């Protein structure tokens, strides 16, 4: 597909290149404290973990999350390199899309959670009988929030320099056969997930969650719900089924990534019987599986629409009538 495969290089302003460089190498600084903690835990040193916590037994999850963070660093560093604009786009967009799906909502969730803690308790994190100490939670999630910010900026700058008109695309004028039907299906699934998440955020009963509902858990559901609705609106706008929307590509990108990444992570955790996966209720499991499929469907639909928009147009040869 042309959008993912064609190596395109465009020259951008030096200031943008410098900012992208800062985002790439800033990821190393953002990830370093988190990576050090993970390595300590894997080596058997319970830094920041209470004596009664089972977190030291989570060897496989710790390995997986450390690998994911290192992959995020590699992606950000690749985005910072000028030669990356000549690579096949999928090498950067696939890990970048997945990483942003996990990290971008975290920026909002962490910011709101820390603000709520400061306003209500006088400190950003208040935990009782938690898996980790409050300072550990603060460090880890601050790292995630910074990573999400840097990766988002880095990807946006890469897209702006490589495809100057992509981020401002409001709708596609070339219709891929069946794309509107698929877009409607993806939007309906995303809308269902968004409605369910918002219901959980506002009025879900206690049995919809294995542990108590808190401000953090409610706000997290609201954030995921908002991203799900954004994905549905974005893909419908791209397909020409809604009025022109200035940031349709960004909404589709962020929304579909969040649907897919968080849905897949929890679905996989449940299937693999990962630690604490028993806290995932049946309702949540259904929502997560639907979110995974909806996110993937919307992303593929948007990809086909944007690719068709950039394919060379051919004009059929003129025919002449016999004299």
Greater confidence, 131 or 41?
Answer: 41
What pLDDT, on a 0 to 100 scale, did the predictor assign at position 171? 62
Residues 57-79 as b/e (b if ≥16 CB within 10 A, e otherwise) read: ebeebbebebeebeebbebbbbb
Write the pLDDT tens digit of every residue in 228-265: 999 999 999 998 888 877 789 999 999 999 999 999 99
Q: How many helices (H) and strands (E) does the chain have?
A: 9, 0
Joined together, the tokens standing for residue 81 give: 């390199």
What pLDDT, on a 0 to 100 scale, did the predictor assign at position 71? 92
Q: Taking a C-beta distance cutoff of 8 angstroms, is the pair 3, 309 a contact?
A: no
What pLDDT, on a 0 to 100 scale, did the predictor assign at position 174? 56
What pLDDT, on a 0 to 100 scale, did the predictor assign at position 9? 46
Least confident range of 134-148, 169-183, 297-311: 169-183
What pLDDT, on a 0 to 100 scale, did the predictor assign at position 4? 55
Alpha carbon of 230 to those of 17, 213, 273: distances in Å? 29, 25, 31
pLDDT reading at 189 higher than 90 = yes
Q: Could you give the maximum distance between any two Cα atoms of the chain, in Å?
A: 96
- pTM here is 0.86
Please, which pLDDT band fits residue 1 given cuts at 50, 70 and 90? very low
Q: Taking a C-beta distance cutoff of 8 angstroms, is the pair 250, 167 a contact?
A: yes
What pLDDT, on a 0 to 100 scale, did the predictor assign at position 204? 82
What pLDDT, on a 0 to 100 scale, did the predictor assign at position 310? 62
What pLDDT, on a 0 to 100 scale, did the predictor assign at position 146? 95
Share the mean pLDDT of the chain.
Answer: 86
What pLDDT, on a 0 to 100 scale, did the predictor assign at position 167? 62
**Burial label, 97 (beta-carbon count in 10 A; 0-12, 13-18, 19+):** buried
Please, which pLDDT band fits residue 13 given cuts at 50, 70 and 90? low
What pLDDT, on a 0 to 100 scale, did the predictor assign at position 10? 47
pLDDT reading at 198 higher than 90 = yes
Beta carbons within 8 Å of 66's beta carbon, 6+ residues apart? 35, 38, 39, 42
pLDDT over 90 percentage in the chain: 54
What is the rounded CA–CA span in Å between residue 4 and residue 297? 17
Please, which pLDDT band fits residue 79 given cuts at 50, 70 and 90? confident
């Amino acid at each position: 597909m042309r959008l993912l495969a064609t190596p395109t290089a465009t020259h951008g302003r030096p200031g943008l290149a410098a900012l992208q460089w800062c985002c790439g190498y800033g990821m190393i600084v953002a990830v370093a404290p988190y990576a050090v903690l993970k390595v300590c835990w894997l080596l058997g040193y319970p830094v920041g973990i209470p004596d009664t916590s089972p977190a030291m037994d989570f060897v496989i999850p710790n390995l997986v999350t450390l690998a994911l963070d290192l992959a995020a660093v590699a992606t950000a560093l690749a985005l910072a390199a000028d030669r990356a604009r000549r690579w096949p786009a999928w090498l950067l967009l696939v890990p970048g899309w997945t990483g942003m799906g996990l990290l971008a909502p975290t920026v909002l969730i962490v910011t709101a959670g820390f603000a709520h803690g400061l306003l209500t308790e006088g400190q950003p994190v208040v935990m009782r009988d938690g898996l980790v100490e409050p300072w550990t939670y603060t460090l880890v999630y601050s790292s995630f929030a910074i990573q999400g910010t840097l990766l988002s900026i880095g990807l946006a700058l890469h897209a702006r320099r490589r495809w100057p008109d992509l981020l401002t695309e409001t709708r596609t004028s070339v219709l891929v056969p069946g794309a509107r039907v698929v877009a409607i299906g993806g939007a309906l699934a995303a809308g269902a997930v968004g409605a369910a998440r918002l219901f959980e955020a506002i009025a879900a009963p206690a049995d919809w969650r294995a542990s108590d509902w808190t401000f953090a858990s409610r706000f997290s559901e609201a954030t995921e719900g908002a991203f799900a609705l954004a994905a549905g609106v974005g893909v419908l706008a791209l397909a020409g089924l809604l009025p022109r929307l200035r940031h349709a590509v960004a909404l589709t990108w962020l929304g579909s990534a969040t649907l897919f990444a968080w849905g897949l992570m929890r679905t996989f955790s449940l299937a693999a019987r990962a630690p604490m996966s028993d806290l995932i209720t049946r309702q949540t499991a259904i929502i997560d599986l639907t979110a995974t499929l909806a996110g993937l469907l919307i992303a593929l639909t948007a990809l086909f629409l944007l690719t068709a928009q950039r394919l060379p147009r051919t004009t059929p040869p003129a025919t002449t009538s016999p004299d």
